[in-house]
Structure 1
Amino acid sequence: MSADTATDVFEDHRPLLMGVAYRMLGRVADAEDVVQDAWLRWSHADREQVREPRAYLVRITTRLAVDRLRQVRTRAEAYVGPWLPEPYVTDFGDTVPDTADRALLADSVSLAVLVVLESLSPLERAVFVLREAFGYPYAEIATLLDRGEAAVRQLAGRARRHVEERRPRYEVDPVQRRDLTERFLAAAAEGDLEGLMSLLAPDARLVADSGGKAKAPVRVLRSADKVGRFIVGVTARSTPDLSARLIEINGALAVLTLSGGRPDSVVQVDFADGRVTTVYLIRNPDKLRFLDGH
């Protein structure tokens, strides 16, 4: 296999590898580093001995991601306030035409699911991502991770139960989500507390991630009243150079606010029964730099 062919093969698989790495890590920069390391290994490999490039590249990427996940766990312990994944711009376009497949991929990369995946062990997370997000057979996952199939099935079952017990239950109809997000944005922009209260579930939460580098609550706000009043307060303190636009991140519509043309925050909502149940607010500037230009 020539160098040019090897490059083409890798680039063809890059979206898949990035998808695996990001779901494993929840961090764009770390995922990109893992994919770059995978490229270095691929470029120096004896590619003539590789029968299935896709399996080979996914195996390298998954194992590198498992190693990186073990390293970043120590960083998370010192994080200030709630932790949320880095916003990841998703646009499946025509690459995933089937509605069911699109819904599955969107769910597997959602902020809510990625938060739950943080509590899995690295191997549990790898098995869950490969099985639930990408549909790999147990036997193939066992080969990728150099584990027995029985052990992989046990890991998968444990991970699936853990995620199902902790993942929020919310509707994923894209039309309803867009309508609710737009109504929420309008009420927030106008500082309309009554309008916000009509959209928020009584036990609504606001989870803000600033990493201690921007103004945001360092604890989860609970109850519609606290969430609504916080949002109204933020609106009252907004500056004239603040603007907002809709963007798809992590498989769902979100609001990207900009200050002076630069990313300032990302707001996304989860909902059930037509009411907002969780408001995610990401303000850590380190997590927003990948949105510059979107």
Structure 2
Amino acid sequence: MDDFERLRGRLFGIAYRMLGTATDAEEIVQDAWLRWQEVDRSKVRDADAYLAKVVTNLALKQLTSARVRRETYVGEWLPEPVLTGRAEFEALGPLEVVAERESVSFALLLLLERLTPAERAAYVLHEAFGYSYRDVAELIGTTEANARQLGSRAGKRIAAEPRRDRPVDRAGWRNLVERFLAAARLGEIEELEQLLAADVMSTADGGGKVIAARKVLVGRERVARYLIGTLEHFGAGIEARLAEANGSPALVAVGPDGVVAVCFIDLGPDGVTDLRFVLNPDKLAFAATQLSRIEGLPDLDW
């Protein structure tokens, strides 16, 4: 197998964790492939290091420009979801241990947005891919001491952020989410409120392309009324299925024209703490392509 194809999954994984956008990660991997075709292979001593450096530098450049674009983004910005948990969904590689799942979790990707590009690169390369700080320094073009400082600073900033979710018990998650969906569909607002934490937060990313709340909604009554109202107006013909995305359980909503939403639901001791709806069609394109590799959606359940 060609070195590039052998490393394609790792290269996509680096770019995706750096950017939080699967479509941009794909473009970066394609750009890296074009550069690989032009390079004199006899002068490349370590294909792994060479390609990782190319992708890291492309991602750093892309991340800098992406942050400028996000300043004018319509409404709340969320990462692009990537379906996981099936052989057909191999973009991120196997997520066999907790640390691998955490490295692509929606919660972590959102926290990574608060880091500088250099901090994010150092953290991703060291924590998610196990590169030594000496190798990180080579990949991002700095000294080992500075790479270590960047990684340490990133780790401390992430550790300092409060986490509202708890480790997922999939059976418990499924039970609560099924009750949650039933209450929302039937308009049973009191039942729905009982399943929500008092400080529950709902974030929707429509990107100005579809109707969605442009600000974070907080509080069980406000969130419950929003959810019920949304389903009443837009829920006809939409089927929600349990799936795995970014290494965690999620809901994939499918309509007549394909995927219309991916929703991540975080649970705390008092019920649902966070709802994150990816609704922007551009951000659902990658997941839709993944789904096209299987026949329909019926076997996504875990």
Q: State if a TM-score over 0.5 links the two structures.
A: yes
> Contact 1:83–1:209 (CA<8 Å) still a contact in 2?
yes
Aligned-residue offset at 1:67: 0.8
Unaligned runs of 5+ in 2: 292-302
> Contact 2:254–2:260 (CA<8 Å) still a contact in 1?
yes
Aligned-residue offset at 1:261: 3.9
Give the letter for the 2:104 counterpart.
Answer: V
Aligned-residue offset at 1:274: 5.5
1:223 aligns with 2:219: yes
Aligned-residue offset at 1:92: 6.9
> Contact 1:207–1:219 (CA<8 Å) still a contact in 2?
yes
> Contact 1:201–1:276 (CA<8 Å) still a contact in 2?
yes
Counting only pairs closer than 5 Å after superposition, residues 229-268 of structure 1 correspond to structure 2 as 229-268=225-264
Unaligned runs of 5+ in 1: none
Which residue pairs with 2:298 in the alignment? Answer: none
Counting only pairs closer than 5 Å after superposition, residues 1-294 of structure 1 correspond to structure 2 as 8-91=2-85, 96=94, 98=96, 102-166=97-161, 168-175=163-170, 176-273=172-269, 275-292=271-288, 294=291
For residues 240 and 174 of structure 1, the distance between their equivalents in structure 2, rounded to whole angstroms, comes to 30
For residues 181 and 31 of structure 1, the distance between their equivalents in structure 2, rounded to whole angstroms, comes to 31
> Contact 1:190–1:235 (CA<8 Å) still a contact in 2?
no
> Contact 1:90–1:249 (CA<8 Å) still a contact in 2?
yes
For residues 184 and 23 of structure 1, the distance between their equivalents in structure 2, rounded to whole angstroms, comes to 30
Give the letter for the 1:255 counterpart.
Answer: L
C-alpha distance 256-249 of structure 1, shift in aligned 2 (>3 A): same
> Contact 2:164–2:273 (CA<8 Å) still a contact in 1?
no
Question: What do residues 20-50 of structure 1 show as CA deviations (whole Å, max 9, x unaligned)?
Answer: 1011011111101111111111121121222
For residues 164 and 237 of structure 2, the distance between their equivalents in structure 1, rounded to whole angstroms, comes to 36
For residues 95 and 256 of structure 2, the distance between their equivalents in structure 1, rounded to whole angstroms, comes to 37
Aligned-residue offset at 1:236: 1.8
**Secondary structure of the residue that 1:289 maps to in structure 2?**
helix
Aligned-residue offset at 1:118: 1.3
Aligned-residue offset at 1:74: 1.3
Aligned-residue offset at 1:239: 4.6
> Contact 1:21–1:62 (CA<8 Å) still a contact in 2?
yes
For residues 63 and 167 of structure 1, the distance between their equivalents in structure 2, rounded to whole angstroms, comes to 30
Count residues with an aligned counterpart: 285
Question: What do residues 221-277 of structure 1 show as CA deviations (whole Å, max 9, x unaligned)?
Answer: 001111111111112223532212122111111111122141211211112225111
> Contact 2:95–2:101 (CA<8 Å) still a contact in 1?
no
> Contact 2:18–2:59 (CA<8 Å) still a contact in 1?
yes
Structure 1: which 4+ aligned runs deviate by more than 6 Å? none
Aligned-residue offset at 1:289: 1.9
**Secondary structure of the residue that 1:254 maps to in structure 2?**
strand
Give the letter for the 1:118 counterpart.
Answer: E
Aligned-residue offset at 1:183: 3.2
Aligned-residue offset at 1:154: 0.8
Give the letter for the 1:153 counterpart.
Answer: R
C-alpha distance 17-255 of structure 1, shift in aligned 2 (>3 A): same
For residues 251 and 279 of structure 1, the distance between their equivalents in structure 2, rounded to whole angstroms, comes to 16
C-alpha distance 104-44 of structure 1, shift in aligned 2 (>3 A): same
CA RMSD of aligned residues (A): 2.0
TM-score (norm 2): 0.88
> Contact 1:188–1:231 (CA<8 Å) still a contact in 2?
yes
Deviates more, 1:163-172 or 1:193-202: 163-172
For residues 63 and 24 of structure 1, the distance between their equivalents in structure 2, rounded to whole angstroms, comes to 10
**Secondary structure of the residue that 2:234 maps to in structure 1?**
coil
For residues 52 and 179 of structure 2, the distance between their equivalents in structure 1, rounded to whole angstroms, comes to 41
Give the letter for the 2:255 counterpart.
Answer: S
For residues 58 and 14 of structure 1, the distance between their equivalents in structure 2, rounded to whole angstroms, comes to 10
C-alpha distance 131-186 of structure 1, shift in aligned 2 (>3 A): farther
For residues 205 and 97 of structure 1, the distance between their equivalents in structure 2, rounded to whole angstroms, comes to 28
C-alpha distance 177-139 of structure 1, shift in aligned 2 (>3 A): farther
> Contact 1:82–1:220 (CA<8 Å) still a contact in 2?
yes
> Contact 1:113–1:167 (CA<8 Å) still a contact in 2?
no
For residues 286 and 97 of structure 1, the distance between their equivalents in structure 2, rounded to whole angstroms, comes to 25
For residues 23 and 122 of structure 2, the distance between their equivalents in structure 1, rounded to whole angstroms, comes to 22
C-alpha distance 97-215 of structure 1, shift in aligned 2 (>3 A): closer
